Structure 1
Amino acid sequence: MQVLNFYSTIFADQLKRGRKTATIRLGDKSHKYKKNQAVLVTIGYQHSPREKIFDAVIDQVEVKRVRDLSPRDIEHDNPEFRRVEEMIHFLEQIYGKSVTMDDLVTVVRFSQIIDNPPTVTERLRGIGGAQN
């Protein structure tokens, strides 16, 4: 199984709460990640123990220039960011090199795979609050 790993433990809470539903990776990674592919989402550093967060399915893989990232792309990667400049600064920190508006990035959107999802009836009951 392919692994979608995050190095920063900052993302653990965002992933577990469903606030982080995408990752923006520097370069064209379309050869590595494919739509409908199952992945194991983990957090940890290379050559160290990693924490399994959840299994996921890749919903979309899109290669684009940094300048073409939408606020929504950025927010799904990091709920604290909205602007391309914030994303550039973040990518520079992660990859340890300069990132420009012309650089290619890959936006990988994913959804958690839930073992025992609630039924439609259970979900509908939850909409209006507790009902007896």
Structure 2
Amino acid sequence: MQVLNFYSTVFADQMKRGRKTATIRLGDKRHKYRKNQVVLVTVGYQYSPREKLFHAVIDNVEVKRVKDLSPRDIEHDNPEFRRTEELVHFLKQIYDREVALDDTVTVVRFSQIVENPPDFQDRLRGVGGAQN
């Protein structure tokens, strides 16, 4: 199974609460992540224990230049950011190298897989405004 790992434990809570639903990775990662692929989302550093957060499905994989990222792309990656400059500064810290506006990035959007979500069960029973 493919793993979608995050180094910062700050993101664990955001992902568990559904606030972080994407990751922006430097380079073209289409060979690694594909739409509808199921991945294991983890948090931790290489060669260290990692925390298993949840399984997720990849909803979309889009390659673009940093300067073409939308505020929505940035917000889904980091709910605290809205501007490209904030993201560039963050990517520089993560990758420990300069990041230019013309650099290629991959936006990977994902959705947590939840066992028997309550609203789904309600829809099956016709509760909550859904009609059969």
Structure 2 match to 1:111 = 111
Tell me which residue corresponds to 1:94: 94
What is the CA RMSD across the aligned residues, in angstroms?
1.2
- Extract structure 1 runs of 4+ deviating beyond 2 A: none
Partner of 1:60: 60
Matched, 1:124 2:128: yes
Q: What aligned pairs does 1:42-53 form with structure 2 within 5 A after superposition?
A: 42-53=42-53
Change (3 A) 1:31 1:52: same
Q: Shift of residue 124 of structure 1? A: 1.7
Unpaired segments ≥5 residues, structure 2: none
Q: 1:34 aligns to what?
A: 34
* Deviation readout 1:6-52 (Å, 9 max, x if unpaired): 00011011011100000000000010000000000000000111000
Counting aligned pairs with the same residue, the percent is 76
Q: Which TM-score applies when normalising by structure 1?
A: 0.92
Rate the CA distance shift 1:123–1:8 in 2: closer, same or farther, 3 A.
farther
TM-score (norm 2): 0.92
Name the count of aligned residue pairs. 125
| Cα offsets for 1:50-94 (capped at 9, x unmatched) | 000000000000000000000000000000000000000000000
2:128 partner amino acid: L
